[in-house]
Structure 1
Amino acid sequence: MGLLNRWIESLDYEFRVLDACSRHLSPLSTCSKCFDSCTEAAITFVSGKPIINHEKCTECGDCIVECPAQAIEGFLPKRMIHQNQLIATDEHPPSIRELLVLYKKGVKTLIYEQEVVNTDWKQAVSEANDRLKQLNEPPFSIQRKKGEIKEEKYTRREVFSIWKKEAQSTMKQIAPAKWRFNHRELDLSIFYPNDQFTIISLDTSKCTTCKACQMLCKKNCLQITETDFTLSAQRCSGCMLCQDICPEKAITVEEKIQPAVKISHSLYTKECTTCNSKYKTLSINNDKCVMCKKRESFGTFLK
């Protein structure tokens, strides 16, 4: 790659948290994956929302990868790719999610030049291969590469740094990024359409079909109609927001790989035995509407 292209790639804007963050969507969100992944303590919570300290941030990209909502905007560091082979370097190894996306982009071999492959890289590929096995996909291979792989390398902001401030607003949008990921390109559901990475479970005896989960789920994994409540976990990224905000604690989300399935729970139209109003319920044995049940519970609490 030419010097100009490398300079343009160095103009990526600073990372920032978008409104798609589950903590921006609801104060009940407990997600802390960006905070937990940051080894530089560059992410803190202010009024419950994650804030990035750009003076501490090294732009390693770990927070981008770990964010289940793809709500951190920025670019991951460029990986060295040679003839559809991932080259192990002395830099931070790719995450499992990065490797699974690279795999679907045709990069299925890790090559290295040292006597022994770096332990961190080897561990990352090993964990990715565990996931690939669950996905019924062949594993990554690891090979020793003889001879030098020629590839120019420049550090970020190394070249023409004094021009960055003036040029980045117009040039950053055209930076070549064939082997780079931005925050929108780490959605595994796009690359593995026949599989799901979470299981969403619903306790029909607790659910009141209030639709709070449906309204807040940006992946449209939960759909309540006049006849049923359908769970489609294929698109679920595991942000846990539906579980966090459910007032009845009727939803649970578990990280697990399995073939994609849709689960539908029938909705029944019944007449409340207390107020005689018609209502919808997921439990055929339920004989009271939500309001009457709450009044009854409140009365019991006061006694």
Structure 2
Amino acid sequence: MRYVTFLLLLLCSGWLLAFGARDAAAYLAPCTADYVHTDTHQDIIPFEKLRTALQKTLTVAKTAEQKTQLDSVKFEDGAALVETYESLKLFTVSHEWLEITTTGYRRCRYRFVSEGGNKWRLARTRVLEEPLTETPRLRESPGLSELEQRVKVPTTQAAVQEIFPLLLELATGEEQKDFRIFGTRLAPDFVFIRLGKDPEERKPFIEKMVIAHQYIHNERVRYYLVGAEQQENGDVVLDVEQALRFTLEIPEEEKEETLIIVNLSLTWTRSSGAWYLKRHEYFTADGFTNNERDDFVQKQKNKKKEPIRVP
């Protein structure tokens, strides 16, 4: 029995190596053809869904660590029941500028079956506990970093270099709750479109921002350039991602530390030698509340990036 236990330890060690190497195929290689995986709710997760989720998790991870200890081993006819405690840590980068450290542990009950000789395969996994914490950290604003890679046309590059500082002005105004600057930078025909809803004009847009910011404190606003193109009429459409970090304090409700990442399309128009924001369209967003990931339901501009989760 000690020898069989040693073989099972070697098999678990192989998991550690596969996880650290971010190799989902190697991690799942010991599974039988009829392998069954159940989560903490005892719901069965289809194998292909499990494989896809694990592959996505390990692909986006920059580093992945797993440490496993055997809590108990029980042998029965042709099978071994193994309970483990597994500590997990992953470091990922989302949106190219959001660092996420995932830490936690997982307690599992495995059923290995013997295929003769010294060969054992995993037939069933039941996840007993899996508390995981995701801690996000914004990198300092890269702003116009990689401008030449993201915007290929020189004339558009020049326009973006003029416009981007205006975004920083708007960010400062929002952080300081001074919305007069929005009045000077919004075009007369400005429209705000949120998730495909009806357009709002500049006045109600500013009024709603003022009302909302009664409950928003310690806000940080950052913009990250994704791309840009210049239209035939000279307007410039910026594809940017906006990071909002703030404390939401609504009376008689629990305080929330919030981080939201929003995909925006911003159309700027030039008039009398100055640039004005003409159209602000708000698409997908994702983020965290009190370090817990929020799953927003929103209109998609492009295919939404799936949340990073550890299966």
Greater relative CO (CA pairs within 8 A, separation 6+): 1
**Larger Rg over CA atoms:** 2
Pair in the same fold by TM > 0.5: no
TM value normalised by structure 1: 0.22
Bigger fraction of residues in strand: 2
Bigger fraction of residues in helix: 1
TM value normalised by structure 2: 0.22
